[in-house]
Amino acid sequence: MRYGFGIDLGGTTVKLAFFEENGTCLSKWEISTDKTDNGSRILSDIATSVTAYLEENQVCREDVLGIGIGVPGSVDLYGVVFNCINLGWGKKDVPRELGDLTGLPVACGNDATMAALGECWQGAGNENMIFVTLGTGVGGGIVCDGKIVAGVHGAGGEIGHIPLCPDDPIPCNCGKHGCAEQYLSATGIVRLAREALSLPHEASVLDSGELSAKRIFDAGREKDTLATAVLDRYFELMGRFLGTLCCTVDPDVIVLGGGVSKAGQILLDGALAPMQKYAFAPCRTTRLALATLGNDAGIYGTFKLALQKFG
Amino acid sequence: MRYGFGIDLGGTTVKLAFFEENGTCLSKWEISTDKTDNGSRILSDIATSVTAYLEENQVCREDVLGIGIGVPGSVDLYGVVFNCINLGWGKKDVPRELGDLTGLPVACGNDATMAALGECWQGAGNENMIFVTLGTGVGGGIVCDGKIVAGVHGAGGEIGHIPLCPDDPIPCNCGKHGCAEQYLSATGIVRLAREALSLPHEASVLDSGELSAKRIFDAGREKDTLATAVLDRYFELMGRFLGTLCCTVDPDVIVLGGGVSKAGQILLDGALAPMQKYAFAPCRTTRLALATLGNDAGIYGTFKLALQKFG
């Protein structure tokens, strides 16, 4: 039996896991992400944790096929990071540096793409899928025939920046205007509600209290008129977005994850018909599903990447 | 040395070619496409032509690795055609039927996708590219790491049906509204010109004579005010379209082919800045190029598919 590590490097914590090559997770733990000094100690902290695990559990290094690691930034085809603003990193050759520190082969990918690979392998997806994370922003990962579409500049699956409403005067965090994530993220749906509330409208439960994606979906379930109109607009834009993806890579299933996906069935029910309206006819049977691995998608995906490269 | 066939099945003619496995085209010829009787004789005509070539040239069947064939319709992951309206075909298992008729292994793909694979292999593209055909309609093919993205329902690369202007009251041929091909095809740019001519405008060389994509680009080169405004609108929509593709699969190069691409440098120069405006920052260095194989892209691509499957 051979083994490997899956590591999900986030801005606050690093999730680490040790797997059997059949996908069984034997152990998982976290260490904190030390972002001081431009994140210069992050990789050595990870190497220390990996080495300690192998020693404590008397795992022979020859039985370890390698390490997969996901980082919150653009990663090129060779696993070299372009930049991770959250970590203070500029260009960084993670496979070489972490490989030198651990003596193990290392493969590196973008975190959203790794989560996609995790859902593909052990979650709600399959070998032809798109994973859409609807969180503070909108990220994604595309899997075709079981392989991730990383993109030449590490921007494969950066679907949150598809231009949906280019005439929008409000800029996206990325500097462009009208990106999908300006409407479809948790922040985006709150913005749509705020806009609706600023216009004349009948009394709504959203008139008072802090707005959140959860409250808007809850109000929609209760047939609140304003919330229903906001969700109609949200689903219309979601339909154009998902329809665009269907006309491009034509997946079997689109898996929705991230905080907004906790809305559950109402999200699937609301997005399906608009997606079918905007998809090209042969792909109108494309399925929509909710992610099932939650925060563990990254560790499964990174280990799977290591398996693909070194297994 | 082994050999194979690349076959591009069109609505009027079938282009056939015989290749060495290194990509040298030894011979190419055409037969007409017999669409009578719902195209029931097309595959047997092709088989007859293939068999005759092998006999006339005394090629041993064991030295032939197989046949690749491209068809004008949706093709699934197994090479089974969903439908080819132009040929009168419904569902058709081309690999099995043509395989039985010739005794050779057969791989089948969509024609635009096959042209993409041809440009990838022997033309202006490379292993990470998108091919965009700007003809009567807009088609495309996506190549990631040298493999085509065929799509689960054969709709991978059906980028002409990305919804760009969903509020357009005029429907696309596919039944949807505001598809990219309604603006970016040869027909689309004529439509944009017709709309501009219907509004008050200063005198233009396009006021008389039949409109065509060629005349509009020619007038733009001569700084005709109306043509320049039409091309500005065309390039703005092209930029949104190409920027969307960059945010999704992040290719190294986007290759423009089809009749409109004969406009040449003015097309590349006009589309580049809008594409960069709408692309996600890391992929703003994505290149635009003109296709170089012309009508031969299909035969190169289909032979390459046969090589990938049987070589």
pLDDT of residue A55: 97
Q: Could you give the CA distance from residue A112 to residue A116 in angstroms, rounded to a whole number?
A: 6
Q: Could you give the CA distance from residue B230 to residue B194 in angstroms, rounded to a whole number?
A: 9
CA distances from B173 to A241, A286, B71, B170 (A): 21, 21, 19, 10
Low-confidence ranges of chain B (pLDDT < 70): none
| Bridge partners (DSSP) listed for residue A27 | A18
Q: Could you give the CA distance from residue B134 to residue B132 in angstroms, rounded to a whole number?
A: 6
- The pLDDT tens digits for A150-166 are 899 889 999 999 999 99
pLDDT of residue B159: 96
> Contact, B277 vs B203, CB < 8 A?
no
Question: Cβ contact (<8 Å) for A151 and B283?
Answer: yes
Residues of B in contact with A150 (CB under 8 A): 250
State ipTM. Answer: 0.89
> Closest Cα partner for A257 from A302, A292, A231?
A292
Q: Could you give the CA distance from residue A133 to residue B39 in angstroms, rounded to a whole number?
A: 46
pLDDT of residue A122: 94
Nearest to B166 among A149, A240, A247 (CB): A240
Pairing of strands B287-290, B253-257: parallel
Tokens, residue A33: 């992400």
- The pLDDT tens digits for A57-85 are 999 999 999 999 999 888 887 899 987 87
Question: Cβ contact (<8 Å) for B166 and A283?
Answer: no
Q: Could you give the CA distance from residue B128 to residue B113 in angstroms, rounded to a whole number?
A: 13
Instruction: List the Cα angle B138/B139/B142 in 5-degree steps.
Output: 140
| Higher per-residue confidence, A155 vs A226 | A226
Question: How high does pLDDT run on average in chain B?
Answer: 95
- The pLDDT tens digits for B243-285 are 999 999 999 999 999 999 999 999 999 999 999 999 998 888 9
Residue pointed to by tokens 């949104």 = B240
Give the 3-state secondary structure of residue B22: coil
A-chain residue closest to B248, CA distance: A157
Q: Could you give the CA distance from residue A251 to residue B248 in angstroms, rounded to a whole number?
A: 13
> Contact, A95 vs A106, CB < 8 A?
yes
Nearest to B144 among A144, A154, A159 (CB): A144
Tokens, residue A308: 């693909």
Give the 3-state secondary structure of residue B217: helix
Q: What is the DSSP letter of A177?
A: B
Nearest to B158 among A156, A159, A247 (CB): A247
Phi first, then psi, for residue A35 (nearest 5°) are -90, -5
pLDDT of residue B84: 83
Residues of B in contact with A153 (CB under 8 A): 250, 282-283, 285-286
pLDDT of residue B85: 77
Q: Could you give the CA distance from residue B254 to residue B232 in angstroms, rounded to a whole number?
A: 20
| Bridge partners (DSSP) listed for residue A107 | A68
A-chain residue closest to B131, CA distance: A248
Tokens, residue B264: 């040449």
CA distances from B34 to B11, B14, B37, B42 (A): 9, 10, 8, 6
